[in-house]
Structure 1
Amino acid sequence: MITVTRLNGQSVTINALLIELVEEAADTVITLTTGNKLVVKETTAEIVALNQQYLRTIGLVAAAQKSE
């Protein structure tokens, strides 16, 4: 689970494994595999870092590393 901030300042915790797509234009939009969308303050890079950190904590280190 990762915690992100909605545009209204409210923190929300989402299941990082359900993230399908992160789009960054004027705002950052997270699309979940459920079809739900969240508009958040964090940048795409911050969300990727949060997701990688989460994957490490649950033991999916290989999935969190860049493939070369």
Structure 2
Amino acid sequence: MIEVTNFNGDTFTLNALYIERIQSFPDTTITLTNGRKLVVKETEQTVVDLVNRYYQQIGLQGWQKEAGDEDEC
């Protein structure tokens, strides 16, 4: 889960596993897998960093490289 801020200043927690796309229009827009769009105050890079940190915390980041290494042996 990541914490982001909407434009009225309220923070909310978002399950990063449901993020399909992050774009800047110039406002940062997060598109979820269900098609819903959220506009947040954080920059696109900040959201990407939060998502990457979350993936590391739950053990998802890096597993693809490890699996690829096993296949090459």
Say yes or no: TM over 0.5: yes
Deviations 1:16-38 (CA, angstroms, capped at 9, x unpaired): 01000111022111000011111
Tell me what 1:4 maps to.
4
**Letter aligned with residue 26 of structure 2:** A
TM-score using structure 2 length: 0.81
Tell me what 1:40 maps to.
40
Tell me what 1:21 maps to.
21
**Greater radius of gyration (CA):** 2
Sequence identity, in percent? Answer: 50
Work out the number of aligned pairs and report it.
64
Please list every run of at least 4 consecutive aligned residues from structure 1 whose deviation after the TM superposition is greater than 6 angstroms: none
Note the residue ranges of structure 1 that are not aligned, 5 or more in a row: none
Q: Distance in 2 between matches of 1:16 and 1:62?
A: 16
Tell me what 2:68 maps to.
none
